[in-house]
Amino acid sequence: MRFRHRAAAGIASLLLPLAGAVGLASPAQAAGNATATFTKTSDWGSGFGGQWTVKNTGTSSISSWTIEWDFPSGTKVASAWDATVTNSGDHWTAKNVGWNGTIAPGASVSFGFNGSGPGSPSNCKLNGDSCDGSTQPGDAAPSAPGTPTASSVTDTSVKLSWSAATDDKGIKNYDVLRDGKKVSTVTTTSYTDTGLTAGTDYSYSVQARDTADQTGPVSGAVKVHTTGGSTQPPTGDKVKMGYFTEWGIYGRNYNVKNLVTSGSAAKITHINYAFGNVTGGKCAIGDSYADYDKAFTAENSVSGVADTWDQPLRGNFNQLRQLKAKYPHIKVLWSFGGWTWSGGFGDAAKNPAAFAQSCYDLVEDPRWADVFDGIDIDWEYPNACGLTCDTSGPAAYKNLMAALRAKFGQNYLITAATTADGSAGGKIDAADYAGAAQYLDWYNVMTYDFFGAWDAKGPTAPHSPLTSYNGIPKEGFTTADAMAKFKAIGVPAKKLLVGIGFYGRGWTGVTQDAPGGTATGPAAGTYEQGIEDYKVLKTSCPVTGTVAGTAYAHCGTNWWSYDTPATIKTKMAWANTQGLGGAFFWDFTGDTANGELVSAISDNL
């Protein structure tokens, strides 16, 4: 994918409420090698300013923190920022928000508050231990229970059993979570859930609470499909996959629920969630707030139920979980890299096994393991140049994919987004795509962004030509050339997916209607110069012609190229004749509110 609106995610993080609407921290871990200190930063008689600082004095990262303290009667927190502060009488608790829970060794984070009254804090605890870093025996939270097992599954019920959690003071009870929501609290290690819907997917996990009312981490999740019910309409053997961008929930206000309201969810087979980061030779979270922290309102939630502050999983991951429960045929893959974050693959290629292990550990995190059915690698580009240049060599790509398959096994989907450069000596020739194909379920061949306004003066050319045409600026830059080259080097046609861009690329200062005209620069776009969504272009700059199986539009001095339902129909028919494995698109946000481009793919593939 050539463009990534990363800035939107960063801006949205800065606009989060500082106190009140709070982030959900990971289950607290013992402080052990961490300290918390309090400083009174100001005092104006009737009130004061306070600051807590948490420092990681250990050798491993802290994933979340919770500070507890007591104030004398008459002293309280009036407002706070960079933490969630609550109280029960004179006992106060502060938890990290989504963006400051992780503390690297030697690092520290602070939050502040304005207080009223004359008192100072006492009886301080950090993640259940003393704030000076010493351990408090008996105060540790319980361990995670065992992953539940399901039995006696019927149309409307299922019996769940799990191994007990441990705690030095004893276990009081267990919360049973269905699709991330608490459905019951029990004192035993089994529970029968009833009132379910026939033929439906559910996900169950459990969480223990000790006699001090401390909750431990959530167990792993078990997937359950109730018997009976009507089945999903058959989707055939073709892949119909779309990219869902984590940052789409910000400025674009495109949520997972939009897949339901547009009708697109019923017409696709797979979703690639973009993007996870690749840094330090490992897979990493891309945007923690969007991924698993943001609280969705009932209006914006797939289930129609608002997220709560204390549920174990929120954000897009929980919305995807709800989507899969509603549409069991959909498989979700977590895509790593992309145009912005592909620079990390060079380090990953130095130790493929360690990279694969890090990806597996992240995808299989118990909080969201049931959400993902596989992993997608979007390396732009191995042994070639994208935003940065890679020099890891032609074998690195195959070695990385081999390590991923060895770690994930055969029950996970492993896919990759690839170049569509079919020119002689081009990017397809730079890496061992043929050798890597044996380890992958399919390639998402990015058959778009061939031409665009990065060549500011033109010539104007369609960014997603299906075939060559007279005057094409560079031979080999077509969908047909790319697919032919992949097949020629030995990649099976059924492992190749054709790519569709749900956006256009355009120039301004253009007088010529047909392709090949000169320009003065990129046309204005809503989010980025030279790029605009199909849903905007279809009315703002309607099609004036077609070339090489795709459309173009000349309106005023602007010239755009983009795919329409009609050109998508042509491309899907071509993909069928070539025996390709299906189609994918970048991305959902560019489509109309009723999903007309997704329908064009689904109806014609």
Instruction: Please give the Cα distance from 380 to 111 (Å, whole number).
Output: 39
The amino acid present at 587, given as its one-letter code, is D
In degrees, rounded to 5, the angle at the alpha carbon of residue 583 between the alpha carbons of residues 581 and 585 is: 155
The HSE-up count of residue 475 (CA atoms within 13 Å, CB side) is 3
H helices of 387-510, in order, are 396-408, 433-437, 479-488
Q: Is 63 left (phi over 0), alpha (psi -120 to 50) or beta?
A: alpha
In degrees, rounded to 5, the angle at the alpha carbon of residue 212 between the alpha carbons of residues 211 and 214 is: 105
Q: Closest Cα partner for 318 from 262, 241, 256?
A: 256
Residue 294, SS3 per DSSP:
coil
User: Which residue is associated with the tokens 């360690």?
Assistant: 354
- List 559's β-bridge partners, or say none: 507, 554
On whether the CB atoms of residues 427 and 481 are closer than 8 A, the answer is no
427-457 as b/e, with b when 16 or more CB fall inside 10 Å? bbbbbbbebbbebbbbbbbbbbbbbbbeeee
On whether the CB atoms of residues 537 and 553 are closer than 8 A, the answer is yes
Token pair belonging to 118: 């004359």
State the catalytic residues.
Answer: 380
User: Which residue is associated with the tokens 């065992």?
Assistant: 146
On whether the CB atoms of residues 518 and 543 are closer than 8 A, the answer is no
List strands edge to edge, sheet with 47-56.
34-43, 47-56, 108-116, 76-81
Instruction: Please give the Cα distance from 72 to 91 (Å, whole number).
Output: 9
Residue 239, SS3 per DSSP:
strand
Token pair belonging to 396: 């690195």
